Structure 1
Amino acid sequence: MWPPESARSSVGWQLWLYRIERVLAVLLLVVATAVSLGAGGRDGHWWAITGAWVAVTTLWVLGTVVLAPARLRERPAFALLTFAGIVGLGSVLELRDLTYVIFMIYAFLAAMRLRPTWLAFGGLGVTSLLINTLGNGGPVHALRERPGIWITIIVVQTATIGGGGLLSAAVARQNEERRRMLDELAAAQAENEGLQRQLLSQAREAGVLDERHRLAQEIHDTLAQGFTGIITQLEAAALAKDEPAEWQRHLDSATALARENLTAARRSVRALHPEHLDSATLPDALAGVAARWSARTGVPATVTTTGAPRPLHPEIESTVLRVTQEALSNVDKHAAAGRVGVTLSYMDDDVTLDVRDDGAGFVPGPGPGFGLPGMRRRVQRLAGTLHVESEPGGGTAISAVLPAVPAPPEASA
Structure 2
Amino acid sequence: MKQGPRSGTVTGTPAFNGPTGTPALHRWNAVLWVLCGLLPPAIATADDPTANRAGVLALLAVLSLSYALTALFPGQSLLRPRDHLCVLALGLGGVSYLMGGGAALYVFSQPHFWIYSARPATAIAFSGAAAVLVVAGDLLRAGPDGWVSELTTGNVVAVPLGFAGGVLLGLAYRVLTAESEARAHRLADELHQARQRLAEIEAEALREQGATEERERLSREIHDTLAQGFASIVVLAGAARTALESDPERTAQQLRSIEQTARENFAEARVLVGSAPSSGLTPGPVSLTLRRVLDRFAEDTDIRVNAELGEVSCDQPTRIALLRCLQESLANVRKHAGASTVAVVLARRSYGVELEVTDDGSGFVVEESRGFGLDGMRKRLAELGGELTVTSSIGDGTLVLAVIPDNGQV
- What TM-score comes out, normalization by structure 2 length? 0.45
TM-score by length of 1: 0.45
